[in-house]
Structure 1
Amino acid sequence: MGPITGLATIATALTVILVVAGLAVVVLTLAVVVPALRETRGARLARQVSIPRWYLHPATSH
């Protein structure tokens, strides 16, 4: 197989690379964003400041 010299070959290769890279970005974005959106505020707060879940229950704030 010779070197890539034709404009059509270069354009095709760049298009394929662009599509594959775009799909990779979309998949990685969904893999990070969707779980982050599903997480509740209470879970984030409990993890961030290490407060036990039972302590955050509203019944304990009397």
Structure 2
Amino acid sequence: MGPITGLSTIATTLLWTSVVLGVVVAGLLLAVVLPTLTRTREERRRQHLSIPAYYRLTPAH
């Protein structure tokens, strides 16, 4: 019975590790992908132009 108990412990540990890592990866994907998908074309264009234009800053003359 020793080897069966050891294998079940390893299997349970691997299962929970996979679940936790899956949740972490899904959370990171949502944190990175969702903001990118919700940006409009105008926002992307403004950000591409320059940082002051994106943040609506006026240059100091």
SS of equivalent to 1:6? helix
| Structure 2: runs of 5 or more not aligned | 55-61
Scaled by the length of structure 1, the TM-score of the pair is: 0.70
| Structure 1: runs of 5 or more not aligned | 54-62
Encode CA deviations 1:21-55: one digit per residue, 9 max, x unaligned. 000000110011111111011111111122847xx
Q: Distance in 1 between matches of 2:33 and 2:42?
A: 18
Which contiguous aligned blocks of 4+ residues in structure 1 show a shift greater than 4 angstroms?
none
Q: Distance in 1 between matches of 2:31 and 2:47?
A: 20
What is the 5 A alignment of 1:1-62? 6-50=6-50, 52=53
RMSD across aligned positions (CA): 1.9
Identity %: 47
Q: Distance in 2 between matches of 1:29 and 1:14?
A: 22
Q: Distance in 1 between matches of 2:17 and 2:53?
A: 48
